[in-house]
Amino acid sequence: MSFTTILTEVKGKVGIVKLNRTQAMNAFNAVMLKELFDALKAFDKDERIRVLVVTGNEKAFAAGADIKEMAESSAVDMLTQGHVEAWDRIRAVRKPVIAAVSGWALGGGCELALSCDMIVASESAKFGQPEITIGVIPGAGGTQRLARLLGKHLAMEMVINNRTLNAAEALQFGLANRVVPVDGYLEAAIAFAEEIAERAPLAVRMAKDSVNAAFETSLTEGLKAEKRNFYPLFSTEDQKEGMKAFIEKRQPNWKGR
Ligand code: CAA
């Protein structure tokens, strides 16, 4: 794969996508959006990869959609280009995706982090939805995901009054899984990804799908979705291996089958 706005790297079982428009604080232009999601899709299909990490640089994870690119767009342009639909494509990724966030995660950048499954934040991370300051609202999931994650009042303040969350607040309110020093924040996220990459791959996939169901359905439907993922795991070699290994007091050897 060859890209102009992102960098990709494979470390063992972890696929890393680094946003690389440093000159624009990693703002998403159409090319970077396409490249990001193409790279995620390719890693999702790659059997060697078990977990994905999405990151930016120390100063900016991503400062949102490229304002210069969309400033003169009409509603029809935005609609026909499916501008914000691009973010929905991250939901189609079946493997776990960890956002390694340092510096600014604003607008579509915050929404990208929210679309991931877990967030490792550096101490300098700042999350916000400043769209209101440029006369619009979040369009890539911010109003919905923040309301579900943080509750109505804080989400409302972020969206209506550009309240940002620093790393400590993100941890306190359950947005970030962990906060680590800026030095080595990406390595910390990769180490976290490597931990998950060593777990039973099919069970990880079913677990992700089940947790995500909680955001889509009623409790009754969610419990059904969980059962639909639980029972089939008993037809996998990994379930037999995992339980046998427990009984034999040894480490399991996962096959992903
Ligand atoms: N779009 C286009 N260019 C951007 C950008 C963006 N979202 N964010 C930063 N840049 C550019 C700046 O214009 C500047 O370029 P020049 O050097 O050519 O002037 C360069 O990146 C560096 O930025 P600053 O000089 O502003 O750096 P700073 O350290 O003073 O501030 C910042 C950093 C707080 C991130 C500030 O740049 C900022 O507020 N950016 C805009 C954030 C924003 O409003 N995001 C929401 C976009 S709308 C959206 O995301 C909705 C959607 O469609 C999903």
The predicted-structure confidence for 187-208, as pLDDT tens digits, reads as follows: 999 999 999 999 999 999 999 9
- The whole model's pTM is what? 0.96
Together in a domain, 131 and 87: yes
Position 254 in a domain? no
CB of 99 sitting under 6 A from ligand 1: no
Section 24-37 average pLDDT: 96
Which of 21, 25, 164 most suits a substitution to test ligand 1, by most atoms within 8 Å of the C-beta? 25
Q: By the 8 A CB rule, do 87 and 141 touch? A: yes
Together in a domain, 221 and 132: no
Together in a domain, 184 and 223: no
Domain boundary among the residues 178, 197, 216 is at 197
Together in a domain, 193 and 208: no
Mean pLDDT of the chain: 96
Proportion of the chain above pLDDT 70, given as a percent? 100
CB of 107 sitting under 6 A from ligand 1: yes
Position 253 in a domain? no
Neighbour count for residue 32 (Cβ, 10 Å): 23
Confidence of residue 235 (pLDDT cuts 50, 70, 90): very high
Position 185 in a domain? yes
Sheet with 14-19, edge to edge strand ranges: 6-11, 14-19, 51-55, 97-101, 118-122, 178-180
User: Domain range for residue 171?
Assistant: 6-197
The domain total for the chain is: 2
Together in a domain, 76 and 166: yes
Tell me: pLDDT of 1 over 80: no
Together in a domain, 127 and 238: no
CA atoms of 204 and 199, how far apart (whole Å)? 7
Together in a domain, 52 and 167: yes
Report the pLDDT value the prediction gives residue 241, as an integer from 0 to 100.
98
Q: What is the CATH number of the domain that holds 21?
A: 3.90.226.10
Question: Chain centroid to CA 152: how far?
Answer: 22
CA atoms of 89 and 69, how far apart (whole Å)? 21
Position 256 in a domain? no
Position 255 in a domain? no
Position 257 in a domain? no
CA atoms of 43 and 93, how far apart (whole Å)? 9
Catalytic residue among 111, 142, 170, 203: 111
Report the pLDDT value the prediction gives residue 86, as an integer from 0 to 100.
84
Together in a domain, 117 and 175: yes
Q: What is the CATH number of the domain that holds 242?
A: 1.10.12.10
CB of 141 sitting under 6 A from ligand 1: no
Together in a domain, 51 and 90: yes
Together in a domain, 135 and 77: yes
Q: Where are the beta strands (DSSP E) in the chain?
A: 6-11, 14-19, 51-55, 60-62, 97-101, 104-106, 118-122, 126-128, 165-166, 178-180
Together in a domain, 149 and 217: no
Report the pLDDT value the prediction gives residue 90, as an integer from 0 to 100.
87
Together in a domain, 101 and 192: yes
Produce one character per residue of 117-132: b if its CB has 16 or more CB atoms within 10 Å, e if not: bbbbbbebbbbbbbbe
Query: How far does residue 67's CA lie from ligand 1's centre (Å)?
Result: 7
For residue 189, give the nearest of 27, 58, 21 by alpha carbon: 58
Report the pLDDT value the prediction gives residue 87, as an integer from 0 to 100.
87
